[in-house]
Structure 1
């Protein structure tokens, strides 16, 4: 996360940045599955589990968990893999031995039938 992602005091990153990452992942999954970007309908669940700060490195992943005629339900997770260490210097960071899950979510996207280009 960069300094421009910090929204609050102490260089705290807005949780919406995790949802932005999830939206990009959903788009990729839909293109791979349907050959179309589809539309994000909404989240059923979003849980923020740990703070994220400017300078932290986040890895995010998604998987389709339910596939309907046009709907695709997905599960998302974002993990902090590197944490900034401003207590040591402005550029210090630590690689985490065990990544920290910072956010989980479940959401649904739709690819209209007429836009689905890949046959399953």
Structure 2
């Protein structure tokens, strides 16, 4: 997700240099399906601060069979994170103006 956001923002995948915070909010198991979304919350000269949220949308049902699964009526938020990606100035292919 961070790579996609960097490409959309700068035309370059950049490098995720670290996480400011990571929260694990609910368990995940093999066979569960997860969707992760992200957004850029701050654009610096070369840094991009991003927020992410992961939701479980399908739950594996190993109690029924090895391949059974249920689509969840309401996705479960399983994690959140804040991280920073850096894209070198010379690799940025889009111009950003201050808001």
Q: Normalising by structure 1, what TM-score?
A: 0.77
CA–CA distance in structure 1, aligned partners of residues 71 and 65 of structure 2: 15
Say which structure is richer in helix. Answer: 1
Distance 2:29 2:74 in 1: 17
Higher relative contact order (CA 8 A, sep 6+): 2
CA shift for structure 1 position 88: 1.5
Question: How far 1:102 sits from its partner (Å)?
Answer: 0.9
Residue segments in structure 1 that go unaligned for 5+ positions in a row = 1-24
Q: 2:26 aligns with which of 29, 50, 72?
A: 50
Structure 1 runs (4+) deviating above 6 angstroms are none
Structure 2 unmatched runs, 5+: none
1:40 aligns with 2:12: no
Deviations 1:49-71 (A, max 9, x none): 11111111111111001111111
Aligned counterpart for 1:81 among listed residues 42, 49, 57 = 57
Q: 2:2 corresponds to which residue?
A: 26
TM-score (norm 2): 0.92
Figure out how many residues of one structure are paired with residues of the other and give that number: 96
